Structure 1
Amino acid sequence: MRVYLPATVSMLRTLNASGELAAISGTAFALTPALRESYATGGDEELEYAAMNDAARASLRLLHAEAEADPGTLMRRAVVSADVDGAKLRPDLDHSVVRLAGPVPLKAVAAIHFDTSEAEDAVRAAVAVIDAADLGDPDAEFTLGDAEDHELAWYAVQELPFLLELL
C-alpha cells in the first residue's frame, strides 16, 4: 500500500542518517476505502493526491510542536511517500488515516515531497493558526489555504542527502 507520512526537516535528517522513518504514533495517510467513498468522483491519482494533502496538513501540526521546542525550526512541510505492508485502516480518525506496523525503511520510500523556500512565510502563518483552523475559525482556514496553495516539490529518494545539504 502506498502511504504518505507527514514529516519535518528533522525527521528527514533522521531518515537520511538512520535509514528509517518512524511515523509519529504510527500515523500515516493513504487511499483507503473510506477516502474513496467520501469523494463522489475522482480517479486513484486524484485520491492519492488528497491523501498526500492530508499528510501535508498533518506536517503543519508536527511543525507546530517542533517550533514550540525550537523557534528556529525550518518552516517547510514534508511528506514521505512509501510502499509498505501491514498498514491498518483507521476510519475512526479520518477517511485517509492508517496506522503503520513500525518504522518505514529507506528502501520502501518512493519519494520525498517538500516545500520550496517560497512557501516558508505561508507555512509559518499556517502553523500559528492550525489549531484555530481545526476548530473552524474561517480566518485561520483562509491562512491555512494560503500554505496549501503551495505545491510540494517532488524529490527522488537518492536526492535526499543533497536536499538536506542545501538547507
Structure 2
Amino acid sequence: MNKNKLNIIKGDITKLAVDIIVNAANKSLLGGGGVDGAIHKAGGSEILDECIKIRNKQGGCKTGEAVITTGGKLKANYVIHTVGPVWNGGKNHEEELLSNCYRNSLTLAYEHGAKSIAFPCISTGIYRFPKELAAKIAIDEATKFLQRQEIINEVIFVCFDDETYNIYSILLNDA
C-alpha cells in the first residue's frame, strides 16, 4: 500500500471537499457536541432529516456501527455517522468497538464508490478514549482496508488539536 494514501491535517472537517466525511455521532443520531454538532450545524437540516428517518427505521445507531446520509450543505457528498465507544479502562471491548467504527465506515464508503474519506478522531473527546491508542487503531484499520481494495485512494485523519496531530504524525512517520 502506498503510504501517500494516508494523510493528516489539523483543521475543521466540515470544510473539506472530499467524497465522505465521518461523524463521531451519538446513538440517537440527532446531533450533539463537538464534531457531531459542528457537522449537523454546517450540513444543515437535510442531514438531521435523514438521521431521523434512519432512527425511525432502526432505532438509532449502535456503538461500532455506521450509517450514511447526504452531505447536505457540506462540500462532502455524504456523511457517515459512526458511534464510538466510551472509554471504560478497556474493560468493555472498547478497542474492538473502535476498530469496528473505522472498518464499518470504510466499508460504507467503498460501497458508495468514494475515492476520498476524512475521519475525525473518534471517541477521543468526551468519550475519553486514549488518543495514542485511538490513533493506532485508526491507522491500522485504514491501512488494512486500503490494502484490500482499489476504490478509496485517500484517507484523511482530521485532528482538532496539536497534541493529536503530533500523535498521528509520529505514528504515520514510523509506519
* TM-score relative to the length of structure 1: 0.33
Q: Greater helix share, 1 or 2?
A: 1
